[in-house]
Amino acid sequence: MVGACMVGPRLRLRQAHALAASAAPAPKAVLPFEAIPRCPGSEWLRLLRVWRAGCEDLHLQMQQAFQELGPIFRYEVGGKHMVCVMLPEDVERLKQAESYQPHRMALEPWLAHRQLRGHKHGVFLLNGPAWRSDRQRLNPDVMSPQAVQKYTPMVDRVARDFSKALMARVLQNARGTLTVDIQPSIFYYTLEASNLVLFGERLGLLSQSPNPASLNFICALKAMLKSTMQLMFMPRSLSRWTSAPVWKQHFEAWDYIFQYANDCIQKIYQELALGRPQHYTGVVAELLLHADMTLDAIKASSIDLTAGSVDTTSYPLLMTLFELARNPEVQEALRQESLLAEARISENPQRAPAELPLLRAALKETLRLYPVGITVERQVSSDLVLQNYHIPAGTLVLVQLYSLGRNPAVFPRPELYDPQRWLKRGSSTRLPYLAFGFGARQCLGRRVAETESLLLLHHVLKHFQVDTLTQEDVKMVYRFVLMPSTIPLLTFRAINQSHPPGHAASPTLPHPGPISPSTLGPAS
């Protein structure tokens, strides 16, 4: 059947079915919070293990805990206490209890940098009225259908350039194929597209001579994410002594990111002061023209969007290409959909979401299996009941997306890569899709990420057959985002070499070399 192919034996299905059965109808008396099963072990020994070795298997630890303790449990690490859930019924209760100003847990390393440097917090770090005020001003220019219509042609140009560059590299080989670790090139694509959408500027990352400042910015992003993972569970009062070199790396990376964004915004500000543009030039320019947010507030949230838009989009794109390579029937179905819609999308890129329902479903299926952010969190503002346990106001509740996406009671035969499951009609309940969160606090960059993903895959699948020899599952590790521990090699084969997507002068994807944190220089 097209759309349902084996992903591999990812679950102990018997245990998973037992877990589903354990969520039985609740008894009449609500049980106290203290009766919630607790993940065994010392929270401080757990913190010591994280400090020494990281927590790359955190998603698997959570899945194991659900299998042993049931659909709800308490988890503690380094003074942070939380409740973990993974069933749709609990997600619905969290949605129903959502406050006017949903509260997120503070990300301490990021917060520490802003506080020490005196920077304003962006919407990712804000809570309360300040969050709501900034979010309401940002939504129209980032999330609204009108905004998506404006920046979609920008993303489409970058996606087409990626396809042209890839074709140029493929056609350099006599076999008309290219076998490559494509992840660095996808990373460059997502940053190129995001930078154009936000700041209205191309970085040249798809050319043979990308801007050195852009490469340093990539290095800073990677250093920031790596150090965030090393610091996020450690109390600041303790880690300032145990992890001083990591804190230094973290602050230096953020300093470069802020300087880079500040330079971009200052250029836009000067150009706008010299004359209003005659056409759309990106999100930040629109925010500056509206003049209802301060320059510092615009910069802070632009940095949040930039920092959160690269890895979180590039890894799902990579895993989608991998799954399509080992599920050729699904790949061919998606290709036929793209080819049929090519003329309409070429004329009007904004039509892509409506014209490519199966491709949108494939992206949902990838994020079901490989959620780049493994949790959705809420600090509940009022008392509620989950799995018949009392949850007091102020409790941090984490929805574990990796376990949810692989629960056979929610997703029948979860070991199948089956985009069609998202398109089936007649189901009594909608499948939970939480990759970007939910409600008013869902990911601000969601529409940008979805647009970038959809258009890149559309243009690649039109022109290339994607293959791999890797049929076994890829081990996933948690390093602040969920990513493959090793990158599977993919082979791109030109489908129609007589009509490549471009001309002889098309740009060629650079061969990304290693970038070291020591190469960071001043932003330009």
Cα distance between residue 287 and residue 267, in whole Å: 14
**Model pLDDT for residues 9-30, shown as the tens digit of each residue:** 344 434 444 454 445 555 579 9
Cα distance between residue 459 and residue 161, in whole Å: 9
What pLDDT score was predicted for residue 25? 56
> Which amino acid, residue 17?
H
CB distance 257 to 220 below 8 Å? yes
Q: Which two tokens stand for residue 155?
A: 């993303």
Reply yes or no on whether the pLDDT at 2 is more than 50.
no
Instruction: Compute the half-sphere exposure of residue 160: CA atoms within 13 Å on the CB side of its CA.
Output: 14
Q: What is the CA radius of gyration of the chain?
A: 23
301 or 232, higher pLDDT: 301
pLDDT (0 to 100) of residue 49: 77
104 band by pLDDT with thresholds 50, 70 and 90: confident
209: exposed, middle or buried (Cβ count in 10 Å: 0-12, 13-18, 19+): exposed
Q: What are phi and psi of 397, to 5 degrees?
A: -110, 130
Q: How confident is the model at residue 197 (pLDDT cuts 50, 70, 90)?
A: very high
**What integer is the mean pLDDT of 432-445?**
93
Task: Give the chain's mean pLDDT.
Answer: 87
* pLDDT more than 90, % of the chain: 70
Residue 146 has pLDDT above 90, yes or no: yes
Q: Picking from 27-31, 201-205, 513-517, which range would have the lowest pLDDT averaged per residue?
A: 513-517
Three-class DSSP labels, 234-250: CCHHHHHHHCHHHHHHH
**C-alpha span between 419 and 320 (Å, rounded):** 11
Check residue 19 and give its pLDDT.
54
Q: What are the CA-CA distances from residue 209 to residues 88, 187, 190, 198, 376 (Å)?
A: 48, 16, 17, 22, 39
Whole-angstrom distance, CA of residue 303 vs CA of residue 523: 15
Closest by Cα among 412, 434, 436 to 92: 434
Query: Residue 280 burial by CB count (10 A; 0-12/13-18/19+): exposed, middle or buried?
Result: middle
Residue 429 — very low, low, confident or very high, per pLDDT cuts 50/70/90?
A: low
pLDDT in tens, 232-241: 877 777 667 6
Q: State the pLDDT confidence band at 475, using cuts at 50, 70 and 90.
A: very high
6 close to 415: Cβ distance less than 8 angstroms:
yes
* Mean pLDDT value of segment 286-303: 93
pLDDT greater at residue 79 or residue 202 = 202
Is residue 358 within 8 Å of 339, Cβ to Cβ? no
Q: Which two tokens stand for residue 45?
A: 């020994």
pLDDT at 510: 54
User: N- to C-terminal Cα distance for the chain?
Assistant: 53
* The model's pTM: 0.88
**pLDDT at position 391 over 60:** yes
What is the pLDDT averaged over residues 322-349?
97
Are the C-beta atoms of 359 and 457 separated by less than 8 Å? yes
> How much is the pLDDT for 23?
55
Residue 95 is encoded by which pair of tokens? 């949605």
Question: Is-contact 462 436, C-beta < 8 A?
Answer: no
220 alpha-carbon distance from chain centroid: 18
